[in-house]
Chain A
Amino acid sequence: MSKLFIFGIGGTGSRVVKSLTFLLGAGVDIKATEIIPVIIDPDRANGDMNRTVDILKNYQRIRIRSHSARSGFFKAKITTLNELVDNNQREKLTSPDFRFELDGVQNERFMDFIDYNNLDKANKALAGLLFSEENLEADMEVGFKGNPNIGSVVLNQLKDSSVFRHFASNFEENDRIFIISSIFGGTGAAGFPLILKNIRNAPEDMPNFAFLRKAKVGAITILPYFGVTPDPNSKIDKATFISKTKAALNYYERNVSGNRSLNALYYIGDKDTKDYDNKEGAADQRNDAHFVEVAAALSIIDFMNLHDDMLENDASGMAKSPVYKEFGIKDAAPELSFATLGPLSKDRILKPLTQYKLMFMFMRDKLEECIDKYPWSNNGKVRIDKNFVTQPFYSDFLNAYNKAFSDWLIELGRNKVGFKPFRLDAGDKNVYYVLNEYEPVKSFNPLAKKNYELYIDQLNQAEKEIGDPPAEQKFMDMFYYATKNLVQKKFNV
């Protein structure tokens, strides 16, 4: 197994990374020793990006404290580029967390960025051909507002950045790269070909340039899957999404897929779209999570499952036989659930997500009243007592992560197309009616333990098996063990 560097570009890139984080938190398997997400978005205040970064940070905090060899939840290691480099290099790195900080976009118009006023007459004329007045006057504080022609100029600084050099210096021969971008906006459409070009044409003074040129690179390009409400004051107009997509696909045909720069390219989109409020960026851009983002996150897991033989490059670093994939569902329905997914997707996410959902439900409904009452809480040297639930691990990190997980599920359910794998009304009296379109296995034994009593029984069994590792490990391992047995017993998976 190898490291996986993920470049998530723009708002969509952030949201896909968010979905991937929730899948990994639930214990979905990914064949990577370490995952290093780098989120590229000029809009520092972007709501989607900041939400994703918070979730990633909490994931790390939870994993650092609770990881063990038998961990099921949060087992994949997520690292920032900053954590990957040694201390000497770290001081020079301009982006301390998952974000790639772009220089020269804060409070700056595009014309200032290209130093338009100091260009000679001929270059001004050329710039006038490539960029409209509106483009030149555009304030880049909130991103490129759907203008890939601006994005392609600004994002070109990536190759000269400390982030890119550190990425290169930590890139090893068998590591893989995955690029997430939307094709119908500004940042993603511009950033994707640029990053790819900089990887395939890594200059010889770049560390590990030979590895980069021959790297196994996958990408997902996300076609329109949402709209925005018409707003005459906004630069973003959904009517342009399709034409932009066509133009970008035409460009990719020659410069991305056509020249075999990529080893694997995934496509996804949805014609059944919902219009979001028209927000150009900043904190207001907090789009609801969408199933397309979950499916896009699954493409990353799929890419890591592809055998090395399928991702071989020729001597010039181009893919020998690129893989192209699209995502499909078993049944087209206005509301999706696990039952409408294809067998492979279902197989990958049903069990882990159900396990995590069950843990979330117990923590929400039952944990407080169970503390100190049952062996899983009050047995052994290490106890899950009242003190444990006041510690930051539980009260801050796990609670915040779970709140975001719950919001994510609610948002997925209310979007169009909706993804409702779980019944939100499952609770005390019907814990195992948690899955939409799946009936739990019924027991005809009148003395059989039911609902949360069966759950506590399984937690108590887990406590017996797990012993006394540190409290955070014990807590997470017990819930993983118990929910694994419950899912097996109740849903035969």
Chain B
Amino acid sequence: MNNFFSKLYEVLFRSGTFSDDLYQEGLYSQLGFIALFSAGLLAVFFYYILNRPSFSRWYHWLVIMGVCFVINYILGVIIPRSRFSSLNISYGSEYWVFALFNGIIACLFFTVVSFTIRWWSRNCKGTPIPN
């Protein structure tokens, strides 16, 4: 899976040794799974647990997507930095740029999962855009 996720991430962002180190440490698959899992969890929460008429408009969906982005942005900084710190490797702005794309990829996952599972939701099946 590391290969799969590295290709996905590196379509959007590749930064020399930083990307190589992410690959070597298997962080692409780790962060990819976290992004997929968190996006899925938030989509299930939005469509089936919250599932409220008063929170079913497109901008409510965007709020949840924003939460997904923020979680994955933060994890996109913390996880690589702590791993590389323990290996005495230091990078600067790469963490922040990579985290930005980690958040974007999580949002993509959230969109895909949303459009896959929304059909069976009682109150949000037309969110973010009506069928």
Contact = CB atoms under 8 A, between A and B. Distances in A.
Nearest to B57: A373
Interface in A445-493: 449, 453, 456-457, 460-461, 464
Contact of B123 (A372, A378, A380, A456): A456
Given A449-B52, A453-B52, A457-B52, A375 B57 contact: no
B54 A374 contact: no
Contacts of B56: 374
A457 B126 CA distance: 13
B125 interface: yes
Given A449-B52, A453-B54, A457-B52, A379 B122 contact: no
B126 A374 contact: yes
B130 A464 contact: no
Interface residues of A, number: 14
Contacts of A379: 125-126, 130-131
Interface string A373-403: 1110011100000000000000000000000
Contacts of A374: 53, 56, 123, 126
Contacts of B53: 374, 449, 453, 456-457, 460
Point out which of A372, A374, A456 has the most chain B C-beta atoms below 10 A from its C-beta: A374
Point out which of B52, B54, B123, B124 has the most chain A C-beta atoms below 10 A from its C-beta: B123
Chain B contact patch, size range:
10 to 19
Contacts of A375: 122-126
A91 to B, nearest CB: 51
A68 B88 CA distance: 74
A372 B125 CA distance: 13
Contacts of A380: 131
Contacts of B122: 375, 457, 460-461, 464
B34 to A, nearest CB: 27
A372 B127 CA distance: 12
A234 B42 CA distance: 76
B111 to A, nearest CB: 19
A133 B30 CA distance: 106
A333 B116 CA distance: 59
Secondary structure call for the B interface: loop
Point out which of A372, A379, A380, A460 has the most chain B C-beta atoms below 10 A from its C-beta: A460
A104 B16 CA distance: 105
Contacts of A453: 52-54
A99 to B, nearest CB: 46
B52 A378 contact: no
A461 B120 CA distance: 10
A372 B57 CA distance: 11
Contacts of B124: 375
Contacts of B52: 449, 453, 457
A159 B56 CA distance: 64
Nearest to B50: A447
Contacts of B126: 374-375, 378-379
A210 B36 CA distance: 80
A375 B121 CA distance: 10
Contacts of A378: 126, 130-131
A380 B131 CA distance: 7
Nearest to B121: A375
Interface in B81-131: 122-126, 130-131
A484 to B, nearest CB: 16
B123 A457 contact: yes
A448 to B, nearest CB: 10
Interface in A351-386: 372-375, 378-380
**Nearest 8 A/B pairs, CB to CB:** A456-B53, A378-B130, A460-B122, A375-B125, A453-B54, A460-B123, A453-B53, A378-B126
Interface of B: 52-54, 56-57, 122-126, 130-131
20 contacts: A372-B130, A373-B57, A374-B53, A375-B123, A375-B124, A375-B126, A378-B126, A378-B130, A378-B131, A379-B130, A380-B131, A449-B53, A453-B52, A456-B53, A456-B123, A457-B52, A457-B122, A457-B123, A460-B122, A460-B125
Given A373-B57, A375-B122, 18 more contacts: A374-B123, A375-B123, A378-B131, A379-B125, A379-B126, A379-B130, A380-B131, A453-B52, A453-B53, A453-B54, A456-B53, A456-B123, A457-B122, A457-B123, A460-B53, A460-B125, A461-B122, A464-B122
